[in-house]
Amino acid sequence: MRRLLFLLIFGVSLFLGLYLNHLSRYREVFRSICDLTEEHFYRNDAALVAWVRECHRRAAVTSGFGTTDQLLVNIQALMNELPVSHFQIYNPSEDRKMWKGEGIDSGIRARFIEDHLVVYRVFAGSAAGVAGVKPGDDIVGIAGAEQVTPWGAEHRSGRFHIKRGKADVFFDLVARDFIEDSVPRLTRLDSRTALVEIPSFRSDFFGDGAWKKFAAQFSAYSHLIVDLRDNSGGNLAAMLRALSSFQCGGRNVGVLLQPRKEAPDKPAFDDNLADDYQIKELEKYHSLGLVTFGNYGCFTGKVTLLVGPETSSVSEIFTSAIMARKNSRVWGQPTAGDVLLAVWFDLPALGPGFSVSIPEAVYLTPSKKELEGTGIWPQKELYYDLKQSLAGQDSWVVEALKF
């Protein structure tokens, strides 16, 4: 009897200890996000004051039951009540995807065209690439999925039913840990025109020598089609290095403004890729001018820039600058309108890889216009041609060749 009573007391004590540990950690995480937002959020208005008050209230009543994922969903739901971009909480897998392009991936990129889910890219070395999936394949079904979606094509495992021309083809794919190839690519289209694909402005791909060597190829052509459709942003200095090859040196392309900060203004952002350096610059100044650098080449030929709903963040700053450039045009679909500069903060109470991004500055064009929430509307809207897409052709690039 005594042994049974001891075990019962031990079990209750253990459960209570675990619960209190979870409760303490969960509330600490919630409160830290409240405090970080109150200190760093780029606006300081009645909406922020009300949000911070509600954040602390919810932190105080957060339960120790439930999983970490449920906690993150609850916090994100509250963050969504401040409807701005780059205000988000990340788990380790999302963090790796953002900063390294790494995740569970089939290697397929597909988009809906009319009522068809058509593959437009297959990464070499991925499960789909090794199996033989090709651009132009029409994904009819995926075993175990009620419907096919671009997300499912990218992440699901199973038997893929594909229509290739008139033939039905089946592939057994296992999505696996894979690093997406986001290196800038140049493809010669004809004697005058090249396609320049920039999938990301992550700093890894824009080292001083690497980008200069890449941009040196531009001089062989009179027309460049620059593709930012899948570019969701990245490092600000990396974007300015790329832009400098098209805008040449010394061009003002806008400003980063921290409205609530009382500090000096700096006329030009430094050519430094280090995230820590850029964060320190934000801490020191009320505004940072964005001016193109002078040592990354100077392409003066024609430019057609292709953008779409996935074009966001610093890619939209790039787009805004190209729209104002001579001999240039912006075609495609409206961009995301996610044009705030955010800083990432670790959440150590949850463990490695958990983080939160908080927008600290807003981008203004040279005419003092905000792009946050509105994005950029192209000068010509493009739509994908089903027949060309099923033939493995990019109908937007085909159209852009007609400069």
Confidence category of residue 1, pLDDT binned at 50, 70, 90: low
**DSSP one-letter code for 191:** S
Q: Return the pLDDT at 163.
A: 97
| Structure confidence at residue 66 (pLDDT) | 76
Distance (Å, whole) CA 156 – CA 104: 9
pLDDT of the residue at 208: 80
Say what the pLDDT of residue 26 is: 86
Helix residue ranges per DSSP H, 308-375 = 314-323
Mean pLDDT value of segment 172-194:
95
Give the pLDDT confidence score for residue 5 in this predicted structure.
54
Q: What share of the chain is helix, strand, coil (3-state, %, to 5)?
A: 35, 25, 35
Averaged pLDDT of the chain: 92
Rounded CA-CA distance 69/193 in Å is: 48
Q: Which residues of 338-375 are buried (b: 16+ CB within 10 A; e: fewer)?
A: bbbbbbbbebeebeeebbbbbbbbbbbbeeeeebbeeb
CB 363 within 8 A of CB 313: no
pLDDT digits (tens, 9 = 90+) for 301-321: 999 999 999 999 999 999 999
Interatomic CA distance for residues 297 and 213, integer angstroms: 10
Give the other-Cβ count within 10 Å of 109's Cβ.
Answer: 18
Residue 335 is classified by DSSP as -
Q: How many Å apart are CA 395 and CA 401, to the nearest integer?
A: 10
With tokens 């889910």, the residue in question is 117
Strand partners, 266: 288
In tens, the pLDDT along 272-304 reads 999 999 999 999 999 999 999 999 999 999 999
* Percent of the chain whose pLDDT exceeds 70: 94
Query: What is the per-residue pLDDT for 402?
Result: 85
Specify the pLDDT at position 365: 97
Q: Are strands 287-291 and 252-257 parallel, antiparallel or unpaired?
A: antiparallel
Cα separation of 307 and 295, whole Å?
26
**What's the token pair of residue 20?**
């209190």
Report how far residue 149's alpha carbon sits from residue 127's, in angstroms, rounded to the nearest whole number: 18
* Distance of alpha carbon 285 from alpha carbon 282, whole angstroms: 6
Does the pTM exceed 0.85? yes
Task: Using the predicted structure, report yes or no on whether residue 11 has a pLDDT greater than 70.
Answer: no
Residue 105's beta-bridge partner residues? 176
Q: Cα-flanking dihedrals φ and ψ of residue 295, to 5°?
A: -130, 35
Closest CA to 231 of 112, 110, 335, 379: 335
Run of H or E including 49: helix 46-61
CA distance 114 to 118: 10
Map tokens 């949850």 to a residue.
350
